């Protein structure tokens, strides 16, 4: 299994090379050179297996033999052993056809744990084998950072620096990052929004001398290994609802496009996911694109669902590459133009093929709270404000055939957003016991301007202190 860049100018790599590189040197994202595919019989053979075993088999399709199967399965067992539910990612039926896929039973109560807990172990395996050390940099709109820090804390072969937008995460999200005082962890609050943080991370990778000096790697969903590790939960949930002998639909709250791209990847591998539904908030660039081919960036607006306060969805580049017939030159030109002008004129044929598969709906803050209230009143189950956009989109855009079940990705525990929950239903969900003292813990983070030089100096100082 080899990987190529969506922009066509970076050398191909194997899985470990992609894992450790993160972003391609040409600014593109790595994708499989060829997609693995499973037959109906092979999908059926995965039914009923423990989550960790399914994850090992699916991720193993993308490692190209670089990790022995028994070692990969051991890493998967270890990654998910500490989750708060025996099923790891249980399904909760909300109505006759809608099922919430609870992805928040990991250590930081968000779906990012599903990939990050495995990713940390994959890094350890690859770096130990190579005798290398890396500096991981990442940008977060709220959940990626805490999940990455939890997965990478205290690991001897790596340092991690996470950028988050100052004042634009929930207090729980921020504290889950900034109260981790491990020596290899650096938290930076950037005076800007998430897109600024993401731009700074990409700029660090584009700075070739800095990238080489720091041995940079990434844990954002720009890293293909993150996406690969998210595919298994769509496989497990679809199989539980009758796939491959029954089609399913998936509804996903979407900001950076990585989570729904994992569902698309499962479909590309042969799983019968007939419809891909996107739930969005007021930062609705993806919904506007699907409705009218309007891929134009607007200022990011804070919302009750801060993890989706994004206008530049990095993972969309992977889908664009596929929809353009894997034309790297065209992909690179469109991405460069989007960066320069804030607009992306996607060719009509590529847009139509995308809009035929993906559907989207956006909610403002009032509608998000109303949907949280509706679901809770109808079922007793409380969605967080991100998941609420997906439950609403699922109701509005579900397939006409009522026999097709809809899987809603429940991406965070409502206790991560207690203010929104209280406004919606009049109660503040309690944090699990292991996080009950979160607001009593010491915080440590630096506040820095939206300046590449200042950010690089902070990352360099952090890495060099630990290397000394």
Helices (H), 272-417: 285-292, 316-323, 328-341, 348-357, 365-379, 385-397
Catalytic choice (112, 129, 202, 416): 112
- The answer to whether 364 and 281 are in contact (CB under 8 A) is yes
pLDDT score at 345: 95
- Give the whole-angstrom CA distance, residue 84 versus residue 88: 7
- Give the whole-angstrom CA distance, residue 270 versus residue 18: 24
Burial class of residue 129 (count of CB atoms within 10 Å of its CB; 0-12, 13-18, 19+): exposed
Domains and CATH numbers, the chain: 91-107+226-425 (3.40.50.1100)
Of 214, 196, 218, 223, the closest CA to residue 462 belongs to 214
pLDDT score at 468: 62
Instruction: Report the DSSP pairing between strands 185-190 and 158-165.
Output: parallel
pLDDT score at 319: 97
Per-residue pLDDT reduced to its tens digit, 215-247: 999 887 789 999 999 999 999 999 999 999 999
Sign of CA dihedral 350, 356, 357, 360: positive
Per-residue pLDDT reduced to its tens digit, 305-319: 998 998 888 899 999
- Give the whole-angstrom CA distance, residue 59 versus residue 1: 12
- Give the whole-angstrom CA distance, residue 327 versus residue 338: 17
- Bond prior to 244 in cis (omega within 30° of 0): yes
pLDDT score at 219: 82
What is residue 65's three-state secondary structure?
coil
* pTM of the entire predicted model: 0.93
End-to-end Cα distance, the chain:
37
129 is catalytic: no
Sign of CA dihedral 316, 321, 324, 325: negative
Q: In the chain, which stretches have pLDDT less than 70?
A: 468
- Give the whole-angstrom CA distance, residue 122 versus residue 117: 9
Diameter of the chain by CA atoms?
62
pLDDT score at 156: 87
Burial class of residue 272 (count of CB atoms within 10 Å of its CB; 0-12, 13-18, 19+): middle
């Amino acid at each position: 299994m080899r990987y190529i860049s969506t922009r066509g100018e970076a050398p191909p790599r194997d899985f470990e090379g992609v894992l450790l590189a993160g972003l391609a040197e040409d600014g593109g994202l790595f994708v499989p050179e060829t997609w693995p595919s499973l037959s109906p019989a092979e999908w059926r053979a995965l039914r009923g297996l423990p989550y960790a075993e399914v994850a090992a088999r699916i991720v193993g399709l993308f490692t190209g033999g670089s990790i022995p199967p028994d070692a990969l399965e051991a890493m998967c067992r270890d990654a998910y052993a500490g989750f708060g539910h025996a099923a790891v990612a249980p399904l909760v039926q909300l109505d006759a056809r809608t099922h919430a896929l609870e992805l928040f039973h990991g250590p930081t109560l968000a779906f990012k744990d599903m990939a990050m807990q495995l990713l940390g172990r994959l890094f350890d395996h690859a770096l130990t084998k190579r005798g290398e050390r890396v500096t991981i940099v990442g940008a977060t709109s709220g959940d990626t950072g805490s999940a990455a820090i939890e997965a990478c804390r205290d690991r001897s072969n790596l340092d991690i620096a996470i950028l988050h937008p100052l004042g634009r995460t929930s207090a729980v999200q921020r504290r889950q990052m900034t109260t981790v005082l491990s020596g290899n962890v650096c938290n930076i609050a950037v005076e800007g929004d998430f897109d600024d943080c993401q731009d700074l991370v990409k700029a660090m990778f584009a700075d070739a001398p800095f990238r080489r000096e720091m041995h940079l790697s990434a844990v954002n969903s720009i890293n293909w290994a993150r996406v690969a590790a998210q595919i298994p939960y769509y496989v497990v949930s679809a199989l539980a609802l009758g796939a491959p002998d029954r089609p399913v639909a998936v509804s996903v709250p979407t900001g950076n496009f990585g989570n729904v791209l994992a569902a698309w990847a499962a479909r590309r591998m042969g799983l019968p996911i007939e419809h891909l539904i996107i739930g969005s908030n007021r930062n609705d660039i993806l919904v506007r694109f699907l409705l009218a081919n309007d891929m134009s960036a607007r200022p990011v607006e804070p919302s009750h669902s801060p993890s989706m306060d994004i206008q530049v969805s990095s993972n969309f580049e992977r889908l664009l590459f596929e929809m353009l017939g894997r034309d790297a030159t065209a992909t690179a030109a469109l991405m460069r133009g989007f960066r320069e002008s804030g607009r992306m004129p996607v060719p009509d044929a590529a847009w139509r093929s995308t809009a035929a598969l993906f559907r989207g709906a956006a909610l403002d803050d009032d509608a998000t709270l109303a949907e949280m209230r509706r679901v809770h009143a109808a079922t007793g189950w409380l969605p967080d404000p991100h998941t609420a956009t997906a439950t609403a989109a699922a109701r509005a855009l579900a397939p006409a055939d009522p026999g097709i079940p809809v899987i809603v990705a429940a991406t965070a525990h409502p206790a991560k957003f207690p203010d929104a929950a209280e406004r919606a239903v009049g109660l503040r969900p309690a944090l699990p016991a292991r996080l009950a003292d979160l607001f009593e813990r010491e915080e440590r983070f630096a506040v820095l301007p939206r300046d590449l030089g200042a950010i690089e100096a902070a990352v360099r100082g952090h890495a060099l202190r630990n290397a000394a």
